[in-house]
Amino acid sequence: MEPNEPLSGKKLPFNNLYLNAGLISGLNHWWMYVLGIVAAMFGYFLFQLFMIFPLMAAATNNGITLADIQGNPEILFDPEKIGMNKNILLALLFSMFVFAFLGLFIVIKRVHRKTLTSVITAYDKVRFGRFFFAFAIWGILLIISVLLSYFLNKDEVSVQFDPVNFVFLLLVCVVLMPVQTCTEELIFRGYLIQGLSQIFKNGILPLAITSVLFGLVHMSNPEAKIYGWITMLPYYAIFGFFLGAITLLDEGLELAMGIHCANNLISSLLITSPNGVLKTDAIFVAEGENPGAEFITWFVMALLTFIIFWQKYRWKNFNLLIK
pLDDT band at 1 (very low <50, low <70, confident <90, very high): low
pLDDT in tens, 92-105: 999 999 999 999 99
The whole-number pLDDT of residue 8 equals 44
- Please tell me the distance from the alpha carbon of residue 250 to that of residue 36, in angstroms, as a whole number: 25
Q: Give the strands of the sheet with 284-286, arranged side by side.
A: 157-159, 284-286, 271-272
**Averaged pLDDT, 63-86:** 85
Say what the pLDDT of residue 62 is.
87
Phi (first) and psi of residue 288, to 5 degrees: -165, -170
- pLDDT at site 10: 56
State pLDDT tens for residues 225-244: 888 889 899 999 999 999 99
pLDDT tens digit sequence for 137-182:
999 999 999 999 999 888 889 999 999 999 999 999 999 999 999 9
* Distance of alpha carbon 61 from the chain centroid: 33
On the question of pLDDT at 302 being above 60, the answer is yes
Q: Check pLDDT > 80 for residue 11.
A: no
Rg (CA), the chain: 20
Which is more confidently placed, 107 or 2? 107
| pLDDT in the model for residue 190 | 97
158 DSSP β-pair partners: 285
What percent of the chain shows pLDDT beyond 70?
Answer: 97
What was the pLDDT predicted at 3?
Answer: 55
